[in-house]
Amino acid sequence: MPQAANVRSLESLKEFRSALIKFIDKAKRAVSTAESEVSRTQIWLQSTQPLHWKHTIRRGEEKLAQAKSELFRATISQPDNPRGPTDQIRLVKKRQAEIKFAEEKLERTQRCARHLEHELNEYRGAMSPLTTSLEGDMTKAVVILERSIRSLEAYLSTKITPAEETLGETPELESIARKGEDNKKETSDEHANGNSTADESN
């Protein structure tokens, strides 16, 4: 035996459908924004920053070569100076420290990029079910709700036709008709009985 739908509020279904559509839209935009930020960070860490530090190292090596050349010229031009070319020596050490700093930054950046790659794989794996649900199950749920709402609206808008009203009154009409026929039959029987008595008297 079919069970009743027991729908108490069609407006509640419409509100839920609207809320579900808004949730799906916001969730999709949030996932897209997060993916964009992740991709931007990945490009920055794996490409932009390594190129920056490699360029810094090359530029530092050029400056170091120039500082060493100045130190060599100062050493030759001041052979009797007891203090030596202290400024040039200090500059050479500074350039060497700059190169070392850039090399350490490059190594740390590459190490972080490898770690980020591992974390991104786990992140995308964890996000995959949500993306699939937003594109599949939840979208199907909206379609099912739309169909249900249309069916319920069609059901509620259905009116009883005159033919159905006539059919609903038929049993009562038949009962009245039968009662009339029975009355006629009883009257005919009475007349027949009356005629029979008169004949017997004669």
pLDDT tens by residue, 29-72: 999 999 999 999 999 999 999 999 999 999 999 999 999 999 88
Between 25 and 78, residue with greater pLDDT: 25
Considering the domain boundaries, does residue 77 fall inside one? yes
Considering the domain boundaries, does residue 1 fall inside one? no
Q: 3-state class of 3 per DSSP?
A: coil
Same domain? 111 vs 42? yes
Q: Has residue 192 got a pLDDT over 60? A: no
Q: In this predicted structure, what is the pLDDT of residue 173?
A: 40
Same domain? 174 vs 126? no
Please name the amino acid found at residue 19: A
Same domain? 134 vs 115? yes
Considering the domain boundaries, does residue 5 fall inside one? no
Same domain? 147 vs 176? no
Between 3 and 56, residue with greater pLDDT: 56
Between 84 and 49, residue with greater pLDDT: 49
pLDDT category at 189 given cuts 50, 70, 90 is low
116 neighbors 45 (Cβ within 8 angstroms): yes
Considering the domain boundaries, does residue 3 fall inside one? no
**What is the Cα–Cα distance from 177 to 115, expressed in whole angstroms?**
94
Same domain? 71 vs 124? yes
Same domain? 20 vs 42? yes
What's the burial of 60, exposed, middle or buried (CB within 10 Å: 0-12/13-18/19+)? Answer: buried
Considering the domain boundaries, does residue 4 fall inside one? no
Whole-model pTM: value is 0.59
Q: In this predicted structure, what is the pLDDT of residue 201?
A: 45
Considering the domain boundaries, does residue 15 fall inside one? yes
State the residue range of the domain holding 95: 10-158
- Per the structure, the count of domains in the chain is 2
